[in-house]
Structure 1
Amino acid sequence: MTQITLSGAAARHINHLSSEAGHPIMLRVAVDAGGCSGFQYNLDLVDAAEDGDAVIEYQGAKALVDEISAPLLSGSIIDYVEELVGAQFKILNPNAKSSCGCGVSFSI
Protein backbone atom coordinates (compact mmCIF):
# COMPACT_ATOMS: atom_id res chain seq x y z
CA MET A 1 0.00 0.00 0.00
CA THR A 2 1.33 3.41 -0.90
CA GLN A 3 1.77 5.80 2.01
CA ILE A 4 -1.11 8.27 2.30
CA THR A 5 -1.89 10.02 5.59
CA LEU A 6 -4.83 11.84 7.11
CA SER A 7 -4.03 15.02 9.06
CA GLY A 8 -5.41 15.71 12.52
CA ALA A 9 -7.55 18.54 11.12
CA ALA A 10 -9.04 16.26 8.44
CA ALA A 11 -9.70 13.52 11.00
CA ARG A 12 -11.43 15.97 13.34
CA HIS A 13 -13.66 17.26 10.53
CA ILE A 14 -14.59 13.75 9.34
CA ASN A 15 -15.42 12.82 12.95
CA HIS A 16 -17.50 16.00 13.26
CA LEU A 17 -19.42 15.12 10.07
CA SER A 18 -20.00 11.60 11.39
CA SER A 19 -21.29 12.98 14.68
CA GLU A 20 -23.69 15.33 12.87
CA ALA A 21 -24.92 12.48 10.63
CA GLY A 22 -25.37 10.10 13.56
CA HIS A 23 -23.36 7.36 11.80
CA PRO A 24 -19.81 6.88 10.47
CA ILE A 25 -18.96 8.97 7.41
CA MET A 26 -15.82 8.32 5.34
CA LEU A 27 -14.05 10.61 2.89
CA ARG A 28 -13.46 9.01 -0.52
CA VAL A 29 -10.51 10.51 -2.41
CA ALA A 30 -10.05 9.62 -6.07
CA VAL A 31 -7.99 10.93 -8.95
CA ASP A 32 -9.78 11.26 -12.29
CA ALA A 33 -8.47 12.24 -15.70
CA GLY A 34 -9.49 15.76 -16.60
CA GLY A 35 -9.31 19.26 -15.28
CA CYS A 36 -7.17 22.01 -16.71
CA SER A 37 -3.89 20.33 -15.66
CA GLY A 38 -4.51 16.69 -16.63
CA PHE A 39 -5.79 15.12 -13.41
CA GLN A 40 -8.34 16.25 -10.87
CA TYR A 41 -9.22 15.23 -7.34
CA ASN A 42 -12.69 13.86 -6.72
CA LEU A 43 -13.76 14.03 -3.06
CA ASP A 44 -16.97 12.52 -1.76
CA LEU A 45 -18.49 11.60 1.60
CA VAL A 46 -19.64 7.98 1.70
CA ASP A 47 -21.05 5.45 4.15
CA ALA A 48 -19.15 2.35 3.02
CA ALA A 49 -15.92 1.25 1.39
CA GLU A 50 -15.81 -0.51 -1.97
CA ASP A 51 -13.83 -3.62 -2.87
CA GLY A 52 -10.17 -2.75 -3.37
CA ASP A 53 -10.28 0.51 -1.40
CA ALA A 54 -7.32 1.37 0.78
CA VAL A 55 -8.50 2.60 4.18
CA ILE A 56 -6.54 5.42 5.78
CA GLU A 57 -7.42 5.73 9.45
CA TYR A 58 -6.42 8.33 12.00
CA GLN A 59 -8.04 9.27 15.32
CA GLY A 60 -11.09 7.13 14.49
CA ALA A 61 -11.70 8.87 11.13
CA LYS A 62 -11.43 7.02 7.82
CA ALA A 63 -10.57 8.07 4.30
CA LEU A 64 -10.80 5.74 1.32
CA VAL A 65 -8.62 5.63 -1.80
CA ASP A 66 -9.27 3.31 -4.74
CA GLU A 67 -6.44 1.13 -6.05
CA ILE A 68 -6.10 3.11 -9.31
CA SER A 69 -5.73 6.46 -7.51
CA ALA A 70 -3.42 5.22 -4.73
CA PRO A 71 -0.15 5.37 -6.74
CA LEU A 72 -0.94 8.93 -7.89
CA LEU A 73 -1.49 9.92 -4.25
CA SER A 74 1.57 8.15 -2.82
CA GLY A 75 3.13 10.26 -0.07
CA SER A 76 0.14 12.63 0.06
CA ILE A 77 -1.45 14.16 3.12
CA ILE A 78 -5.22 14.60 3.17
CA ASP A 79 -5.76 17.82 5.12
CA TYR A 80 -8.66 20.09 6.07
CA VAL A 81 -8.09 23.82 5.94
CA GLU A 82 -10.19 26.72 7.11
CA GLU A 83 -9.36 29.94 5.29
CA LEU A 84 -10.97 33.33 4.92
CA VAL A 85 -12.65 32.26 1.66
CA GLY A 86 -14.00 29.00 3.12
CA ALA A 87 -13.11 25.58 4.42
CA GLN A 88 -12.24 22.49 2.42
CA PHE A 89 -10.40 19.20 2.31
CA LYS A 90 -7.07 19.71 0.58
CA ILE A 91 -4.66 17.15 -0.87
CA LEU A 92 -0.97 17.90 -0.30
CA ASN A 93 0.47 15.73 -3.08
CA PRO A 94 4.28 15.61 -3.48
CA ASN A 95 3.82 13.97 -6.91
CA ALA A 96 2.02 16.97 -8.39
CA LYS A 97 4.46 18.89 -10.58
CA SER A 98 2.01 21.72 -11.21
CA SER A 99 -1.55 22.63 -10.37
CA CYS A 100 -4.13 25.11 -11.53
CA GLY A 101 -5.37 28.07 -9.52
CA CYS A 102 -8.40 26.19 -8.19
CA GLY A 103 -6.16 23.61 -6.46
CA VAL A 104 -8.31 20.72 -7.68
CA SER A 105 -6.49 19.99 -10.93
CA PHE A 106 -2.84 18.92 -11.18
CA SER A 107 -0.25 17.29 -13.44
CA ILE A 108 2.37 14.68 -12.69
Structure 2
Amino acid sequence: MAMDTAVQAPITLSPSAAARVATIASKQGKAPVLRLSVEGGGCSGFQYKFGLAETVDDADVVVETDGVQLAVDDISIDLVRGCIVDYVESLGGAAFRVENPQATAGCGCGSSFAI
Protein backbone atom coordinates (compact mmCIF):
# COMPACT_ATOMS: atom_id res chain seq x y z
CA MET A 1 0.00 0.00 0.00
CA ALA A 2 1.46 3.36 -1.05
CA MET A 3 1.56 6.07 1.58
CA ASP A 4 1.08 9.74 0.82
CA THR A 5 4.40 11.38 1.62
CA ALA A 6 3.25 14.95 0.98
CA VAL A 7 3.56 17.02 4.12
CA GLN A 8 0.96 19.71 4.65
CA ALA A 9 2.34 23.10 5.59
CA PRO A 10 1.59 24.02 9.22
CA ILE A 11 0.02 27.30 8.06
CA THR A 12 -0.82 28.83 4.68
CA LEU A 13 -0.39 32.33 3.26
CA SER A 14 -2.88 32.92 0.45
CA PRO A 15 -1.72 34.49 -2.84
CA SER A 16 -3.88 37.60 -2.17
CA ALA A 17 -2.30 38.04 1.28
CA ALA A 18 1.17 37.53 -0.19
CA ALA A 19 0.50 40.19 -2.83
CA ARG A 20 -0.71 42.67 -0.19
CA VAL A 21 2.33 42.03 2.04
CA ALA A 22 4.63 42.53 -0.97
CA THR A 23 2.96 45.87 -1.74
CA ILE A 24 3.15 47.12 1.85
CA ALA A 25 6.76 45.96 2.28
CA SER A 26 7.79 47.60 -0.99
CA LYS A 27 6.23 50.94 0.02
CA GLN A 28 8.03 50.79 3.37
CA GLY A 29 11.33 49.58 1.93
CA LYS A 30 11.25 46.41 4.02
CA ALA A 31 11.61 42.70 3.32
CA PRO A 32 8.34 40.95 2.41
CA VAL A 33 7.99 39.03 5.68
CA LEU A 34 4.69 39.03 7.56
CA ARG A 35 4.79 38.02 11.22
CA LEU A 36 1.67 36.51 12.78
CA SER A 37 1.54 36.06 16.52
CA VAL A 38 -1.18 35.22 19.01
CA GLU A 39 -1.61 37.15 22.23
CA GLY A 40 -3.94 36.73 25.17
CA GLY A 41 -6.83 39.18 25.20
CA GLY A 42 -9.50 40.30 22.84
CA CYS A 43 -13.18 39.62 23.37
CA SER A 44 -12.82 35.84 22.85
CA GLY A 45 -9.61 35.05 24.75
CA PHE A 46 -6.89 35.26 22.08
CA GLN A 47 -6.18 37.81 19.40
CA TYR A 48 -4.12 37.81 16.22
CA LYS A 49 -1.33 40.33 15.78
CA PHE A 50 0.16 41.12 12.35
CA GLY A 51 3.23 43.13 11.42
CA LEU A 52 6.14 43.22 9.02
CA ALA A 53 9.07 41.31 10.49
CA GLU A 54 12.54 42.76 10.58
CA THR A 55 14.07 39.32 11.08
CA VAL A 56 13.11 35.66 11.10
CA ASP A 57 14.21 33.73 14.18
CA ASP A 58 15.58 30.19 14.06
CA ALA A 59 12.63 28.98 16.16
CA ASP A 60 10.03 30.53 13.80
CA VAL A 61 7.87 28.42 11.54
CA VAL A 62 8.19 30.01 8.10
CA VAL A 63 6.14 29.36 4.97
CA GLU A 64 6.50 31.11 1.63
CA THR A 65 4.00 32.08 -1.07
CA ASP A 66 5.03 33.94 -4.23
CA GLY A 67 8.30 35.11 -2.64
CA VAL A 68 6.62 36.42 0.51
CA GLN A 69 7.31 34.76 3.87
CA LEU A 70 4.91 34.25 6.75
CA ALA A 71 6.70 33.82 10.09
CA VAL A 72 5.02 32.44 13.21
CA ASP A 73 6.80 32.07 16.54
CA ASP A 74 7.13 28.61 18.07
CA ILE A 75 4.54 29.37 20.81
CA SER A 76 1.85 30.85 18.54
CA ILE A 77 2.09 28.09 15.92
CA ASP A 78 0.21 25.65 18.15
CA LEU A 79 -2.78 28.03 18.19
CA VAL A 80 -2.81 28.69 14.44
CA ARG A 81 -1.72 25.33 13.02
CA GLY A 82 -3.80 24.56 9.92
CA CYS A 83 -4.84 28.19 9.43
CA ILE A 84 -5.04 30.10 6.19
CA VAL A 85 -3.98 33.75 6.33
CA ASP A 86 -5.92 35.62 3.67
CA TYR A 87 -6.41 39.22 2.59
CA VAL A 88 -9.98 40.18 1.77
CA GLU A 89 -11.55 43.32 0.41
CA SER A 90 -15.27 43.90 0.88
CA LEU A 91 -17.75 46.71 1.38
CA GLY A 92 -16.83 46.66 5.06
CA GLY A 93 -13.17 47.35 4.29
CA ALA A 94 -10.00 45.43 3.59
CA ALA A 95 -8.09 43.33 6.10
CA PHE A 96 -5.96 40.30 6.74
CA ARG A 97 -8.14 37.44 7.95
CA VAL A 98 -7.18 34.19 9.63
CA GLU A 99 -9.32 31.15 8.86
CA ASN A 100 -8.63 29.05 11.95
CA PRO A 101 -10.05 25.50 11.98
CA GLN A 102 -9.13 25.18 15.68
CA ALA A 103 -11.22 28.16 16.79
CA THR A 104 -14.35 27.15 18.67
CA ALA A 105 -15.64 30.71 18.98
CA GLY A 106 -14.90 34.06 17.44
CA CYS A 107 -16.11 37.62 17.58
CA GLY A 108 -17.65 40.08 15.18
CA CYS A 109 -14.39 41.96 14.68
CA GLY A 110 -12.68 38.82 13.34
CA SER A 111 -9.44 39.44 15.20
CA SER A 112 -10.24 37.49 18.36
CA PHE A 113 -10.91 33.78 18.90
CA ALA A 114 -11.23 31.00 21.47
CA ILE A 115 -9.98 27.42 21.37
The two structures have a TM-score, normalised by structure 2, of: 0.86
- Which residue of structure 1 aligns with residue 28 of structure 2? 21
Q: Considering only CA atoms, is the larger Rg found in Structure 1 or Structure 2?
A: 2
- Which residue of structure 2 aligns with residue 12 of structure 1? 19
| Equivalent residues, number | 108
Instruction: Confirm or deny that 1:52 pairs with 2:59.
Output: yes
Percent of aligned pairs sharing the same letter:
46
What runs of 5+ residues in structure 2 fail to find an aligned partner?
A: 1-7
- Which residue of structure 2 aligns with residue 102 of structure 1? 109
**Using the alignment, how far apart are the partners of 1:37 and 1:82 within structure 2?**
24
**Using the alignment, how far apart are the partners of 2:75 and 2:9 within structure 1?**
11
Question: 1:28, 1:45 within 8 Å by CA — same for their partners in 2?
Answer: yes
Question: 1:4, 1:56 within 8 Å by CA — same for their partners in 2?
Answer: yes
**Using the alignment, how far apart are the partners of 1:36 and 1:57 within structure 2?**
31
The two structures have a TM-score, normalised by structure 1, of: 0.91
SS state of the match for residue 72, structure 1? helix
**Using the alignment, how far apart are the partners of 1:21 and 1:42 within structure 2?**
19
Picking from 81, 88, 105, the partner of 1:81 is 88
Q: CA RMSD for the aligned pairs? A: 1.6
Quick check: 89-98 or 18-27, which moved more?
Answer: 18-27
